[in-house]
Amino acid sequence: MSDPKKLYIKTYGCQMNVYDSERMVEALGGQGYVETKSPDEADMILLNTCHIREKAAEKVYSELGRFKGLKAEKPDLKIGVAGCVAQAEGAEIIKRQPMVDLVVGPQSYHRLPQMEEVVQTGAKALDTDFPEEDKFEHLKARPKAKRGPTAFLTVQEGCDKFCAFCVVPYTRGAEVSRPSDRILAEAQDLVERGVREITLLGQNVNAYHGHDGGLAGLIWALAEIDGLDRIRFTTSHPNDMDDALIEAHGTCEKLMPYLHLPVQSGSDAILKAMNRKHTRDDYFRLMDKIKGARPDLLLSGDFIVGFPGETDADFEDTLDLVRQVGYGQAYSFKYSARPGTPAAERATVEAHVADARLQELQALLTQQQRATQDSMVGRQVKILFEKTGRDPGQLIGKSEYLHAVYANADPANLGQIKSARIVRSMTNSLEAVLD
Ligand code: SAH
Ligand code: SF4
Ligand code: F3S
C-alpha cells in the first residue's frame, strides 16, 4: 500500500468549526489521508475559517499568503478553504488567491471526498450550496478510535435570529436540528471511546427542536447514558431559555452549572437596534429565574461595544447590567461591520471611542472573572482530568464550572473525575489538592 497522504487542517472561530474539522479529517480519511500537525509535510492544507469579525476573515488571506511559498516548492500540494469565509466569499477566494484549489461551505463537507478527486485532476472545486440533504447523515460513520475524555457534538446549526450585526444566518443558513436518536447514538459511541463529558453545540443550541422536549428533553435523554457524566451546551439565546431548560439546571445532576448566555448590550435602544428582540429587564428576570434554579451557576456572556448609534449613556447601561448580573466569564468585542448585514449600512462610532469603551468593559469583566475565580479557594470541586501539566506529576482538568484546575495526581487519573479542594487562584487557572 502506498504511504498515506497527509492533511494539515487549521481551525479558526467557534467550537462548531472544531467539531466540523474533526468530521472533515474523518471524511478525508476515506480518501487515504491522515492528519499532520506540520503544514510543511502536508499534501493538502485546509483552513476552516471564521467570518464573524473583519480581523478573523483577514487572517485567512494572510495565512494563505504564507502558504504560497510552500505551493511553489511542492506543486502537487492542494490548498482548500472551508468554513464561514468560504461560504461568504465563495469564488472570490480563488480570484484573490488563485493557488486555492478548493472552496467548501459549512453545509457541504460530506461532499469533500468527491471534491478531493476533482482537485487531484488539477481542476478547482467549489461548493457553497445549502444542500437539502443533511451533511451529518451523509458523512461516514465515525471511526472507533479511542479519544480524550471531552468532546463536542453539534446538535443544531444555523440561525434564524438575524441580529443586525451578525453574519451567521448568512454563512450557516437557516436553523436546522439533528434528530435526537442520531445524537444519542453518536453520544453513546463517543462514550464507548472514552468520552465522559459532551458539550452540545449549536449557533442557537437552546432553539433545538429535534426532540419533543426541546433541548431539555435531549439533555434528560443523554443523562440516561451510563458512563456519560457531564453535559454542557453552547451557545444559547436568552429568548430560547425555556422553563424546562432552566429547571434542568436545577435538577439534572449531569448538566454542569455553567451557562453561556450572551446579551450583547445593556441598553434597550441598542438591543432594539441590534434586533435582539428582548429588553434588559427581560434579561434580568431571566437571570433571576436561572439563579433561582441553580444558585451556584457560573454565568458567561458576550458583549459588543461601539455598535452603530451607541451613546455614552447606552454604554453606561451595559456597564450597569454587567455590575448587576455579575459574570464569571465573558467575551467582549469591538463592533465590526460585516458586509451584507443590516448594521453595516449605519454610521459607526468613532474608533477611539469604541476602543476606550472596550477597555473599560474588559477591565470590569476581568475584575469580575478574577473575583469569581478567587471565591473558589477553599471550595470542594470535582475535576475531570484531561491532560498532563508542564510540571512532572501534575495533571490539568476542568471543574464543574469550567475553570481550568491543576493538581498533583497520578497519570492513572487521566479521564477520571476526582474530588478535590481548591487551594490557590492564579491568573487563568486554579490549583487543587485531591481528597
Ligand atoms: N450564536 C451566538 C453567537 C455567535 S458569534 C449567539 O447568538 O450568541 C459570537 C459572538 O461574536 C457574538 O455573541 C457577538 O458578541 C460577537 N459578534 C458577532 N458579530 C459581531 C460583529 N459584527 N462585531 C463584533 N462582534 C460580533
Ligand atoms: Fe448571530 Fe444573533 Fe444568530 Fe447569535 S442569535 S448567531 S448573534 S444572528
Ligand atoms: Fe465564525 Fe462561522 Fe463560527 S463565522 S463564529 S466560524 S459560525
pLDDT score for 381: 98
Task: Give the position, in ligand 3's atom list, of the atom nearest the Cα of 48.
Answer: 6
Statement: residue 2 has pLDDT above 70: no
For residue 304 and ligand 1, the question of a CB distance below 6 A is answered with: yes
pLDDT score for 58: 86
Lowest-pLDDT range, 136-140, 165-169, 250-254, 323-327? 136-140
Pick the CATH number of 5-127 from 3.40.50.1860, 3.40.50.12160, 3.30.565.10, 3.90.120.10: 3.40.50.12160
pLDDT per position as a tens digit, 139-164: 767 777 888 999 999 999 999 999 99
Task: Give the position, in ligand 1's atom list, of the atom nearest the Cα of 302.
Answer: 15
Q: How confident is the model at residue 293 (pLDDT cuts 50, 70, 90)?
A: very high
Statement: residue 231 has pLDDT above 90: yes
Statement: residue 207 has pLDDT above 90: yes
Cα separation values, 293 from 206, 248, 254, 323, Å: 17, 8, 15, 21
DSSP class of residue 391 equals S
**Nearest ligand, measured from the Cα of 275:** 2
Taking the C-alpha atoms of residue 170 and residue 255, their distance in angstroms, rounded to an integer, is 31
pLDDT score for 134: 76
- How do 380-388 and 394-398 pair as beta strands? antiparallel
For residue 161 and ligand 2, the question of a CB distance below 6 A is answered with: yes
Q: Which of 395, 402, 391 is nearest to 433 (CA)?
A: 395
Task: Give the position, in ligand 2's atom list, of the atom nearest the Cα of 275.
Answer: 2
Residue nearest atom 5 in ligand 1 by C-alpha distance? 52
For residue 162 and ligand 2, the question of a CB distance below 6 A is answered with: yes
Tell how far the Cα of 114 is from the centroid of ligand 1, in angstroms: 33
Element (H, E) at 362: helix 351-374
pLDDT score for 224: 98
Tell how far the Cα of 360 is from the centroid of ligand 3, in angstroms: 26
Taking the C-alpha atoms of residue 201 and residue 217, their distance in angstroms, rounded to an integer, is 15
pLDDT score for 52: 96
Q: For the domain covering 380-434, report its CATH number.
A: 2.40.50
**In the chain, what are the domain boundaries?**
5-127, 144-256, 380-434
Q: For the domain covering 144-256, report its CATH number.
A: 3.30.750.210
pLDDT per position as a tens digit, 417-434: 999 999 999 999 999 999
**Nearest ligand, measured from the Cα of 159:** 2
**Nearest ligand, measured from the Cα of 306:** 1
CB-neighbour burial class of residue 382 (10 A; exposed 0-12, middle 13-18, buried 19+): middle
For residue 234 and ligand 1, the question of a CB distance below 6 A is answered with: no
For residue 7 and ligand 1, the question of a CB distance below 6 A is answered with: no
pLDDT per position as a tens digit, 24-56: 999 999 899 999 999 999 999 999 999 999 988
pLDDT per position as a tens digit, 56-107: 888 899 999 989 899 999 999 999 999 999 999 999 999 999 999 999 999 9
Lowest-pLDDT range, 118-122, 142-146, 385-389? 142-146
Q: Does pTM top 0.75 for this prediction?
A: yes
For residue 169 and ligand 2, the question of a CB distance below 6 A is answered with: yes
Greater model confidence, 317 or 57: 317
Q: Which of 231, 194, 192, 197 is nearest to 215 (CA)?
A: 231
Taking the C-alpha atoms of residue 299 and residue 368, their distance in angstroms, rounded to an integer, is 11
Of 15, 157, 201, 237, the residue with max ligand 2 atoms within 8 A of its CB, to mutate for a pocket test, comes to 237
Q: Can you give the length of the chain in residues?
A: 435
DSSP class of residue 160 equals S
**Nearest ligand, measured from the Cα of 262:** 1
Average pLDDT, the chain: 95
For residue 276 and ligand 1, the question of a CB distance below 6 A is answered with: no
Taking the C-alpha atoms of residue 128 and residue 48, their distance in angstroms, rounded to an integer, is 14
C-alpha cell, 161:
435570529
- Yes or no: say if 255 and 223 are a contact pair by the CB < 8 Å rule: yes
pLDDT score for 137: 76
